C-alpha cells in the first residue's frame, strides 16, 4: 500500500494558514523551523520535525487532570518555485491520563503506519510520542518530476475536531490499495476538507509552521 496522499491546491492551504494566523488562539505567523528529510530504502521521502511548543501550560493542565486531549499535525510539501502542493501527511495522537494508575495512555494514528497504543508515566514521554513526528512519509521519489528545492508547510492543533471528523480522517489516510491517493475531486477528500475548513479556529490551541528549504 502506498502511504502517499495528495494535497489540496495551493490556494486552499494558504487560506487555511491565513485563517489560523488570524485566530485569537493561533500564533502570529507560521514559524520557520528545522525539519529533517530523508529517503528510506523504498525511496519514500520522510519528514522528522518537532512541535512541542503546541503543548502549553493549559494543555498540560488538561492532560494531568485526566481530560482526553488530542494533538493533530498536518503538513504539505511544496516546490520553492511555486505551484500546488505535491503531497500531504498527517499524525494524530490522543492522550488520556489514568488518574488511578497515574499513567498516560496514548493512541497514535499516522500516515503509512498501523495504529499504535502506548503508555508512559511522564510528560516527557507524552511529548516525545505526541509532539514530534518521526520519519513521517511524504511522497515517493518517483512522483517528483525533477530534482529541485522544496519545503513543507504545516499546522498543529490541540483538540481541533469532533469524533465524526476523526473517523473521516482515519478513513482518508487508511484507504486500501490503489485507493490510498485522495485528490481534490474525490468525494471523501471533499467531505474532509469541508469539515476541516468549517472548524478552523475551534481548536484549544493552534500553531502554523514552515520548514527551511531543502534540495532533492
Please indicate, yes or no, if residue 216 is contained in any of the structural domains.
no
Longest dimension (CA), the chain: 55
- Would you state the pLDDT for residue 176? 42
pTM: 0.73
Report whether 180 contacts 2 (CB < 8 A): yes
d(CA 119, CA 107): 9
d(CA 126, CA 120): 7
- Would you state the pLDDT for residue 198? 45
Please, which residues have CB within 8 angstroms of residue 185's CB and are 6 or more apart in sequence? none
d(CA 153, CA 208): 8
d(CA 74, CA 9): 15
- Would you state the pLDDT for residue 92? 93
Please indicate, yes or no, if residue 25 is contained in any of the structural domains.
yes
- Residue 28 class from Cβ within 10 Å (0-12 exposed, 13-18 middle, 19+ buried)? exposed
What is the total count of domains within the chain? 1
pLDDT in tens, 178-199: 333 344 444 444 444 444 444 4
The residue ranges of the chain whose pLDDT is under 70 are: 1-29, 161-202
Range of the domain at 139: 10-211
- Please give the torsion angle defined by the CA atoms of residues 112, 117, 122 and 124, in that order, rounded to the nearest 10 degrees: 0
Closest CA to 33 of 210, 214, 213: 210
- Would you state the pLDDT for residue 164? 61
- Would you state the pLDDT for residue 108? 96
Report whether 148 contacts 82 (CB < 8 A): no
Please indicate, yes or no, if residue 141 is contained in any of the structural domains.
yes
Please indicate, yes or no, if residue 157 is contained in any of the structural domains.
yes
Please indicate, yes or no, if residue 5 is contained in any of the structural domains.
no
- Would you state the pLDDT for residue 168? 60
Please indicate, yes or no, if residue 4 is contained in any of the structural domains.
no
Q: What is the strand order of the sheet 132-140 is part of?
A: 36-39, 44-50, 132-140
Please indicate, yes or no, if residue 104 is contained in any of the structural domains.
yes
Amino acid at each position: 500500500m502506498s502511504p502517499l496522499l495528495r494535497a489540496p491546491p495551493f490556494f486552499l492551504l494558504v487560506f487555511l494558514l491565513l485563517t489560523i494566523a488570524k485566530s485569537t488562539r493561533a500564533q502570529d505567523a507560521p514559524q520557520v523551523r528545522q525539519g529533517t528529510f530523508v529517503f528510506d530504502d523504498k525511496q519514500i521521502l520522510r519528514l522528522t520535525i518537532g512541535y512541542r511548543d503546541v503543548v502549553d501550560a493549559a494543555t498540560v493542565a488538561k492532560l494531568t487532570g485526566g481530560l482526553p486531549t488530542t494533538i493533530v499535525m498536518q503538513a504539505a510539501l511544496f516546490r520553492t518555485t511555486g505551484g500546488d502542493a505535491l503531497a500531504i501527511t498527517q499524525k494524530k495522537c490522543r492522550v488520556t491520563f489514568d488518574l488511578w494508575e497515574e499513567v498516560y495512555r496514548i493512541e497514535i494514528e499516522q500516515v503509512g503506519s498501523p495504529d499504535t497504543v502506548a503508555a508512559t508515566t511522564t510528560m516527557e514521554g507524552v511529548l516525545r510520542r505526541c509532539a514530534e513526528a518521526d520519519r513521517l512519509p511524504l511522497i515517493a521519489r518517483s512522483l517528483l518530476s525533477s530534482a529541485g528545492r522544496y519545503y513543507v508547510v504545516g499546522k498543529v492543533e490541540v483538540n481541533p475536531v469532533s469524533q465524526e471528523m476523526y473517523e473521516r480522517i482515519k478513513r482518508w489516510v487508511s484507504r486500501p490499495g490503489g485507493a490510498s491517493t485522495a485528490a481534490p475531486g474525490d468525494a471523501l477528500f471533499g467531505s474532509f476538507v469541508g469539515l476541516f475548513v468549517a472548524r478552523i479556529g475551534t481548536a484549544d490551541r493552534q500553531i502554523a509552521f514552515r520548514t527551511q528549504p531543502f534540495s532533492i
